[in-house]
């Protein structure tokens, strides 16, 4: 018992020496004097980042999943011991009521610019916020979407929670997996790809700053809307028809299924001349695969197979 106590004390002392830790979060620097012990994450992909780092025991709950998405078996098992505090975006009162010390969210991933839940409004409650890198475009300029966005979040979470070795191991493994998955991709003539998230009157799609743009490029394609200076946005159908995608990537979630979205495009005479529709070339990604998180590289593998028949 004495040895265990001494070992625990030594481990605690070693961990304490690693702090304070400062990370970049969008346009802010956030400093942590100790690892958070009562964390909340918003949305399915951010929650999976916490889970893959082994941080479930540092969490008091999650928000923003069941209101839009259905959890698969893997995800349900990961959050089985955690309460969902809000089915959609949480209120400030809901978050404060859980007495967390950390909120992992993003702009349009649980927070809205000018909304009631922001890093500034949560600070008086002692809640530190780390923002999803992909979402930073909503509050200021950033580089075009890349895999480094997802890697940065994992590495920063690793530093914040004192699990850097695990974070480094995950990122190294994903980089090797991505290199292997895309090694044979012919990039001389990238496929024209459109991302169809939702909407019939006007489609909601991925722009230059959304993760699918980086995933499509990694798989040997080009997002036909990569000149859209946004992450996710609603557009008109005219540029889709004009730019004639060879493949349509369907994001599957919500009340309208992937099959229904495909049927809508195939049965609409306005889209009859689109190469992807004529040749029945659709690739379906689940929401959690189309957003930054632990399934990003597997999603690239799915795109490579859908684009090139591998």
State the CATH number of the domain containing residue 131: 3.40.50.1980
Same domain, 92 and 222: no
Q: Does 153 share its domain with 248?
A: no
- What's the total number of domains in the chain? 2
Residue 262: inside a domain, yes or no? yes
User: Taking 70 as the threshold, does the pLDDT of residue 225 lie above it?
Assistant: yes
pTM exceeds 0.85, yes or no: yes
Instruction: Specify if 182 maps to a domain.
Output: no
Q: Using 50, 70 and 90 to split pLDDT, how confident is the model at 2? A: very low
Please give the pLDDT value at position 17. 67
Cα–Cα distance for residue pair 86/90, rounded to 1 Å: 5
For residue 231, being part of any structural domain is answered with: yes
| Tokens matching residue 216 | 């499509």
CA distance 151 to 149: 6
Any domain includes 119: yes
Tell me the pLDDT of the chain averaged across its residues.
93
Mark whether 192 and 170 lie in a shared domain.
no
What angle is formed at CA 43 by the lines to CA 39 and CA 47, rounded to 5 degrees?
A: 45
181 is a domain residue = no
Domain match, 127 and 234 both:
no
Q: Tell me whether residue 137 is in a domain.
A: yes
Question: Domain of 170?
Answer: 2-176
The answer on 262 and 159 residing in a single domain is: no
pLDDT tens-digit map of 68-110:
887 888 888 888 899 999 999 999 999 999 999 999 999 999 9
pLDDT in tens, 165-215: 999 999 999 999 999 999 989 889 999 999 999 999 999 999 999 999 999
Residue 193's Cβ-count burial label (10 Å; 0-12, 13-18, 19+) is buried
């Amino acid at each position: 018992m004495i040895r265990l106590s001494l070992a625990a004390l030594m481990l605690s002392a070693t961990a304490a020496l690693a702090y304070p830790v400062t990370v970049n979060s969008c346009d802010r620097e956030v400093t942590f004097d100790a690892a958070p012990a009562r964390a909340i994450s918003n949305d399915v992909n951010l929650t999976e980042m916490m889970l893959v780092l082994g941080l479930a025991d540092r969490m008091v709950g999650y928000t923003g999943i069941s209101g839009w998405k259905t959890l698969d078996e893997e995800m349900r098992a990961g959050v089985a011991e955690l309460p969902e505090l809000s089915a959609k975006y949480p209120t400030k009162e809901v978050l404060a009521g859980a007495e967390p010390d950390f909120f992992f969210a993003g702009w349009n991933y649980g927070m809205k610019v000018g909304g009631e839940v922001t890093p500034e409004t949560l600070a008086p409650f002692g809640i530190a916020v780390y923002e999803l890198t992909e979402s930073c475009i909503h509050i200021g300029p950033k580089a075009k979407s890349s895999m480094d966005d997802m890697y940065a979040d994992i590495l920063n979470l690793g530093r914040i929670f004192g699990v850097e070795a695990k974070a480094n191991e995950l990122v190294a493994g994903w980089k090797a997996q991505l290199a292997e998955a895309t090694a044979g991709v012919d990039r001389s003539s990238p496929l024209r790809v459109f991302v169809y998230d939702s909407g019939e009157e006007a489609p909601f799609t991925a722009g230059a700053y959304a993760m699918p743009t980086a995933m499509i490029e990694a798989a040997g394609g080009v997002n036909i809307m990569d000149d859209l200076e946004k992450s996710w946005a609603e557009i008109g159908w005219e540029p889709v028809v004009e730019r004639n995608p060879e493949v349509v990537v369907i994001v599957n979630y919500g009340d309208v299924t992937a099959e229904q979205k495909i049927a809508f495009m195939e049965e609409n005479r306005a889209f009859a001349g689109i190469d992807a529709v004529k040749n029945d070339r659709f690739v379906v990604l689940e929401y959690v695969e189309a957003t930054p998180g632990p399934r990003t590289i597997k999603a690239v593998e799915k795109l490579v197979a859908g684009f090139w028949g591998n």
